A and B are shown apart, each in its own frame.
Chain A
Amino acid sequence: MPNDLSNPLALIAELTHRCPLHCVYCSNPLELQSRDNELPTEIWSRVFQEAAALGVLQADFTGGEPLARTDIVDLVRTARSAGLYVNLITSGLPLDEAKLAALVAAGLDHIQLSFQGAREETANEISGTRSHAQKLRVLDWLRQHRVAVTLNFVIHRRNIDQLQEMLVLAESSCATRIEFANVQYYGWAFANRENLLPTRAQLDQSLAFIKSAQERLQGRIRIEYVVPDYYAKYPKPCMGGWGRKLILITPSGDALPCHAAQVIPGLSFENVKNRSLREIWEHSAAFQKFRGEGWMQEPCKTCDRREQDFGGCRCQALLLAGDATATDPVCSLAPQRPKVDAILTGMNAAPAAQLFVKPAWLYRPNPA
């Protein structure tokens, strides 16, 4: 490894953009890949072997809906036999009991089942389809299997007041972990932001609720809470730092430092069809672009926190400040922070009648 570059720890495998759900906060790019462009099984298998050789520990199978791939059981098997810990992040929709048993037998370590809410009505509204009842069935089947189960709840203004109900659902299941993750504003979520951002009062209430739940369930269920970073004082160390811990492969094989990297103009991405994962990790211009501190502006450049949060998220800097090398505007020290404050102030001042009616969502379509 050149210089002090360390190896990636996780490979995020976006196996497909096809998905039966149409979630209004989908993290996929606005331009979705069609089935024709998806990598074949053989290339994914090679990528898994290269990843393990490079020091990657975990593979996150995601999408779209990874179960839309007809070769999903083979992909789990090849990733596991390459030596990776295999996570499947799924809506559970295309699952039946036989497929679940086959996935576990193939070596699936961990299943993350997404929920759009605790109430059928909210969940179906957000996912743009009737999906909730099937998820409850999957949750019940999971009791029969020895696999780690996480429930993923994506949190926003329309469901943040339902945390208690979500927790009841999780406690009655075999889940050992819950992720309550507030929407992060990229992709489809950025387009729907004005209807997704929770109010400050909602956020404060949720923080108190989560804290007491974490204490009560310690040792039984691990609860992670991801806050919306627009309300944070300092930015998140996005992806653990650009090109430091994670490598993401799109359905067509492009290697990205993060989900949203394609929004940054001027970056070109290598493809695993043409290059080994090691070459990409060590030399790809896109991965090099924001490594280290050379690219930083003030206040990041001389900030004591620069090795903690790495200047925050490059994609968010682009989306909010129009400059991917700027300090992440959610940072309280950022010159562009007033833009974020204006968004929050405007929204928090709006009347409830406007904030809590069903909005005209922009739903994510299904690619060809």
Chain B
Amino acid sequence: MLGDAQTMSPELNSRPRLAPGCRLGENNQQRVLLMPERALRLNGPSLEIVERCDGKHTVQQIIADLQKIYSKAAPQKVEQDILGYLALLQKDRALDFET
């Protein structure tokens, strides 16, 4: 699983955008990412990431933003977590990467 995710690590200059049919929703006061036949609960960092998958932010900018928000965490760790999470979303076919 992790191996797969790493082989699909997204380009830092690409701009991720939620794929058609994938959007943010809300349920029982909980933000969720809705997509075909599934839904993902979003909390703090995952919500911050998904909200920036708008086709405007580059992967690099998302990393920089979250490194600021989570300034107590090691920057390297924040970057790894973001790349891993984007790769998981890509595997679920929830993202398009625009270049």
Q: Which residues of A contact B (CB under 8 A)?
A: 7, 9, 55, 57-58, 83, 85, 87, 109-110, 112, 145-150, 176-177, 218-222, 224
Contacts and interface: CB of A to CB of B under 8 A. Distances in A.
Given A55-B27, A55-B28, A57-B32, A218 B20 contact: no
B36 A57 contact: no
Interface string B57-99: 0000000000000000000000000000000001111000000
B88 to A, nearest CB: 11
Contacts of B19: 148, 176
A350 to B, nearest CB: 36
A110 B8 CA distance: 25
B39 A57 contact: yes
Given A109-B21, A176-B19, A219-B8, A57 B34 contact: yes
B34 A83 contact: no
A interface secondary structure, majority: loop
Contacts of A219: 8, 90-91, 93
B35 interface: yes
B26 interface: yes
Contacts of A149: 20-21
Contact of B36 (A83, A110, A146): A110
Given A148-B21, A176-B20, A83 B26 contact: yes
Interface string B28-64: 1000101111010000000000000000000000000
B35 to A, nearest CB: 7
Contacts of B36: 87, 109-110, 112, 148, 150, 176-177
A145 B20 CA distance: 9
Contact of B93 (A7, A57, A112, A177): A177
Contacts of B11: none
A176 B18 CA distance: 12
Q: Which of B23, B37, B91 has the most CB of A within 10 A?
A: B37
Contacts of B25: 57, 83, 85
Contacts of B32: 57
Given A145-B20, A148-B35, A219-B90, 4 more contacts: A85-B23, A110-B36, A112-B36, A149-B21
A343 to B, nearest CB: 30
